[in-house]
Amino acid sequence: MLPDLGEITSDESYAVRRNELAFWEPWARHGLKSLGLPQPAVFRSPGKSTNPVLIGDNGLVVKLYSEYWYGPSSLGSESEAYEVLSGQGLPVPELLGRGELLPGATGWTWPFLVLSTVTGRPWWEVTEGAGRATGLALARQVGELLGRLRHVPLTGPRILSPTSPVFGDLLRERRAATVSDHRTWGHLPPHLVDAIDDFLPDVADLIGGVTPELVHGDLHGAHLFADPERGEVTGLIDFNDMYAGDFRYGLVQLHLSTFGADRGLLAAALDAAGWPVSGTFPEEMLAYSFLHDFEVFEGPLPDLTGIANLTELAHVLWDVSEPGAG
């Protein structure tokens, strides 16, 4: 007996079930059977995730998409990403199949993708307790990967097209909401939040003249994989937040979350990516931090006590030219 998908009728009911392995495993097996793909002996969950993800011990990953929690946009982004990334020689999963749990249904058909696994271990596991030399070497590997990602042709039909409006629309939505959100989140002192609106440039000015590139907007430590013995980044996963946009946007989650705002790691990555750091880089990156789609200031940041203004905050977080940053 398959679990009843009809009980998922809202964001709230989906949230209760989304990472419940016992609920989704029968459906994952059903999906694999419908595609004629082999069944694993055991499925496991990678932990908390936006979409149900089940990893089989046979190297197959099943990822399902609901109509809630941005499921349709996530499916659109990932579907285009796998098309665009196919054959590019990057360490990303291979799309092995796609289907629907409820084909022909009047409502949501519960689409799913079947992917291959990547090698290595998540960034968090690899770098926890690792020495400085290992961290810097892996940061350079991340930078090289981002440099290669930048040059992948944007051949998607909608989201990952050079003319896609999705990235600009996202920034404008965030521009309108960010001050209110930061008041609610409370990660920054009130006097800094009060200054955000005047600090932020118009979105058109921020991205004006920028040639769209392939951007991964959620480069946190569960989406990057590495092999510490080889000193190599071995995998990049989860393409829910892919854009034809500005390279700088992808650095926000990477630096403030994965790198823990360590400017030495950021400097190593930027150098390896071949990114020219301008004199206004800290201010540009703080602007993108405020415009990011995630609550990026909740991460392990430096002590911000005594920060007087946003220009100072920009340099504390993002200035890779200061002594000690490299």
Quote the tokens at residue 272: 């390896």
Cα–Cα dist 123/318, whole Å: 21
> Chain-centre distance of CA 226, in angstroms?
16
CB neighbourhood size of 142 (10 A): 24
The one-letter amino acid code at 261 reads A
Dihedral class, residue 316 (left if φ above 0, else alpha if ψ from -120 to 50, else beta): alpha
149, HSE (Cβ side, Cα atoms, 13 Å) = 32
Cα–Cα dist 177/204, whole Å: 17
Specify whether 218 is catalytic: yes
Among 48, 228, 219, 41, residue whose Cα is nearest residue 134: 228
57, 169, 205, 218: the active-site residue = 218
Dihedral angle computed from the Cα positions of residues 196, 198, 202 and 206, in that order, rounded to the nearest 10 degrees = -60
**Tokens 């796609």 -> residue:** 98
Q: Kindly give the interhelix angle for 263-273 and 132-150, rounded to the nearest 10 degrees.
A: 40
Residues noted as catalytic: 218
